[in-house]
Chains A and B, each alone.
Chain A
Amino acid sequence: MPGLLRFSTAGSVDDGKSTLIGRLLYDSKGVYEDQLASVVKASANTSGGGGGGKIDLALLTDGLRAEREQGITIDVAYRYFSTPKRKFIIADTPGHEQYTRNMATGASTADLTIILIDARNGVLQQSRRHAFIANLLGIPHFVVAVNKMDLVGFDQAVYDKIREEFTGFMERIGAPAPLFIPISARDGDNVVTKSERTPWYSGPALLPYLEDLGEDAGSEKKPGRFPVQYVLRPNLDFRGYAGQIAAGTFRKGDLVLALPARRHSRIERIVTYDGDLEEAAAPHSVTLCLADEIDISRGDMIVPALAAPHVARRFKADIVWMNAKALEPGRSYFIKHTSHQVRAMVRLIHHRTDVNTLAQVHASKLELNEIGQISVETHRPLFFDPYNDNRVTGAFIVIDPLSNETLGAGMIRDVEGAEETRGQVTAADREARFGHRPAVIAVDDSEAALLLERELFDRGALTAVSDLKADAAATLALAKAAGMILIVTGEPPAGSLDARKMATHEAVALLERRAMLMGHEDQLQAGEGI
């Protein structure tokens, strides 16, 4: 059996969404007789939905008492069924505007979404809203089921009109081209088998299409991403990094980079309960052992040495706001991204998108169920890819530090500002590069200064000679910050090494004794403080 297919559906009871799911469950025998019997019992007690005199299939899916009482779907429900060909997980989501957050929740893990359109009503705002959110959350496949075709006499013109209008809409939002299917969820036309009542329709029925849809190959070919979840140290001889591969394939012997430490190593073992593996691909949960002792902890990421993700503290993201407490720039939040939790601040809101008109409007806050684009700054760098490239490393949730509630869901679109691909250049980095710490050396005359520079330069030092002027202090600070050894002539500034009374070689020897020039540590004498 191939893997499983996760799909989401959205729409109100009126669109027949729950009836369609009930139909899929019923026809694929995903419903048990006793569950069906209890639905028959409940059908008598409710007024909403259903088909005259028939079992109300919608009641199979609306699980909460409030939902059954009100005849609406409030929360995402997950449904399971399988056919001999495939296992399916349905995220059944409510379509009302007030439940946008639940729609986004259902869409977050889906490989495909089914948008239901009532043939009698045509394309409604709700259908557009669903498509927009599904596309925002990066669902790769779309099916538009034009439902209740039985109520419009299976009229091809009705179907064609909807198809044309919705195709235009999908192009406008940059979503993948959907497959359109004319169906009757209530009677089962084109759901499991092709209907004789739509001879003008040449495409597949819904279920066979879902069964045969190819799995998206890309993931194991993408650059490797391994967010470390847990460090396993059962004894002194074993140190392994446990996690789920977010993308790509890791092989024994691969040269990898550990972030944020930026230390290189090789994969020594790929450990599982069922034995070591030679290679493992997403979305396998494994444990990696590296050849070198590197300090790696939860929240770090192991990636291929030559294909690192973005490492940055600032990025632009689309966000779906899910809480009554509005998003406001300047406020402090927690962000959870892969296995990493950091403090973060929303720097600004670029715009809010009106999901009904798609207009991008100015906003100073984002209220419940609103969608916008924001700039975020985190306290520590995140290791991420744009969401369109990777739905794991490009996604994050926003958590309220006070109430602990999940406030929003974000999709990273791009890096902003300086990328910390190599981290900020620190004094230690400069020292490592140039082989010495910074210094300002005062020398009497310019000729001696040039001689000294020659000597230092030949030892690999980064040097410059400067004539002291009135604004000397600034020059000196600049040179020291740059990690240079600056040789000055004229009056010695405070804190400089005074080499004026020394011969050049003595000055160099002094620097070496003070271990300011590397490679001479052995010459450092006790008592000669630095």
Chain B
Amino acid sequence: MDHLDLLEAESIQIIREVAAEFSNPVMLYSIGKDSSCMVRLAQKAFFPGKIPFPLLHVDTTYKFREMIEFRDSYTKSIGAKLIVHTNRQAIDEGANPIKLGTQKCCSLLKTRALLDALEAGGYDAAFGGARRDEEKSRAKERVYSFRDEFGQWDPKNQRPELWNVYNSRVDKGQHIRVFPLSNWTELDVWQYIQRENIPIVPMYFAKPRPMVVRGGSLVSAEQDFMLLPGEKTEMVMCRMRSLGCSPCTGAIRSEADTLEKIIDEMKLVRRSERENRVIDHDQEGSMELKKREGYF
């Protein structure tokens, strides 16, 4: 077995364990490459049956159009049940990252929306596609990450986690976030997508796109975009390395228009994928702070 086989076997074990021990699990589906990978692992875990839990997408309404189209057609094609949740109230009150700042916007449209969706569904376990190599506070997080009644993570008081024996006991109102891809790296995910022929959003592949250079980042000018004074749009050969909300996700200049080229690029790349995610850098240790409040 090569390293992808080992990671696959480990992730399937985690997914089955959750489906067996929790009464009402849900899989958070963010439409990105990691989610695509995680959904495939879930299909494998229950084959020839269907995935026995719904997929939940927390839609900030700032996602790229291509992501939403992909979401709807892909989940339909695999026969998965999709639930979409949006913090309507905040959107109606005009929440957006430019007006509120990224921290507050994330807090309302992602964290609050997620916690509301979990509560509304009465879910006691929620799968997420986060990996430990993404960010330093994630490196410390358990595969089964316990959340209290308020959805909060306490990094100093995590349950010990040994072998592959997971403690699934929670009281009513509490839940567990589960990260079956904990031990995968970004390169592993790409190699697996290639090996398994997993469909992904076309935005990961390079092509000329209308972009704006803002604060050192390449920002897409394709939708819902407001030019700041002095900015102008130019066509740039680029691709998304990680997918988030359109105002806060930068692209990278790249010629990689096939999986082979993306993987070659990955092996050479010297910068982390979240570098282009504005929200990780709003303050020192910012991901840890967001996670404590209930962010994924």
Contacts and interface: CB of A to CB of B under 8 A. Distances in A.
Contacts of A32: 269-272, 275
B6 interface: yes
Contacts of A87: 3, 185, 188
Most buried by A among B2, B169, B171, B271: B169
Interface in A46-95: 61-66, 68, 74-80, 82, 86-87, 89
A229 to B, nearest CB: 4
Interface in B124-146: 132-133, 136-140
A74 B133 CA distance: 18
Nearest to B47: A273
A75 B158 CA distance: 9
Interface in A164-213: none
Interface string B40-67: 0001111111100000000000000000
A77 B139 contact: yes
A252 B288 CA distance: 48
Contacts of B13: 229, 243-244, 285
A2 interface: yes
Contact of B165 (A65, A80, A336, A405): A336
Interface string B155-184: 110111111111101110000000000110
B9 interface: yes
Contacts of A104: 160, 162
Given A75-B158, A78-B182, A395 B165 contact: yes
B47 A339 contact: no
A298 B22 CA distance: 13
Most buried by B among A2, A4, A74, A274: A4
B167 A404 contact: yes
B16 interface: yes
A80 B9 contact: no
B285 interface: yes
A125 B295 CA distance: 40
B204 to A, nearest CB: 18
Contacts of A108: 162-163
Contacts of B1: 3, 283-284
B34 interface: no
A29 interface: yes
Contact of B185 (A3, A80, A105, A399): A80
A526 B275 CA distance: 84
A406 B183 contact: no
A82 B185 contact: yes
B16 A230 contact: yes
A399 B167 contact: yes
Contact of A397 (B12, B45, B158, B167): B167
Interface string A389-417: 00110011101000011100100000000
B271 A34 contact: yes
Interface string B2-18: 11011111101100110
Contacts of A75: 140, 155-156, 158
A273 B161 contact: no
A101 interface: yes
Nearest to B8: A285
A287 interface: yes
Task: Classify chain A's interface size.
Answer: 35 or more
A298 B16 CA distance: 11
Contacts of A397: 160, 162, 165, 167
Contacts of B235: none
B43 A273 contact: yes
Contacts of A2: 2-3
Interface string A429-463: 00000000000000000000000000000000000
Nearest to A90: B139
A2 B3 CA distance: 7
Nearest to B133: A80
Contact of A234 (B50, B139, B156, B171): B50
B93 interface: no
B132 A80 contact: yes
Contacts of B263: none
Contacts of A232: 46, 48-49
Contacts of A102: 160
A272 interface: yes
A405 B10 CA distance: 23
A240 B45 CA distance: 12
B158 to A, nearest CB: 7
Given A101-B160, A334-B169, A64 B185 contact: no
Contacts of A238: 48-49
A471 interface: no
A76 B142 CA distance: 9
A242 interface: yes
B198 interface: no
B284 interface: yes
Nearest to B2: A1
A528 interface: no
Contacts of B272: 32, 34-35
A229 B165 contact: no
Contacts of B160: 101-102, 104-105, 322, 397, 406, 409
A66 B156 contact: yes
Contacts of A287: 47
A101 B157 CA distance: 12
B19 interface: yes
Interface in A308-328: 322
A337 interface: yes
B248 to A, nearest CB: 16
Q: Which 6 A-B pairs have the closest CB atoms?
A: A63-B136, A234-B49, A285-B12, A404-B169, A32-B272, A108-B162
21 contacts: A2-B2, A4-B3, A4-B6, A33-B271, A42-B284, A61-B139, A64-B285, A65-B288, A77-B136, A78-B132, A87-B188, A105-B162, A232-B46, A232-B48, A234-B49, A244-B164, A272-B47, A284-B5, A337-B165, A339-B20, A395-B162
Interface of A: 1-4, 29, 32-35, 42, 61-66, 68, 74-80, 82, 86-87, 89, 101-102, 104-105, 108-109, 229-230, 232-234, 238, 240, 242-244, 271-274, 283-285, 287, 298, 322, 334, 336-339, 391-392, 395-397, 399, 404-406, 409
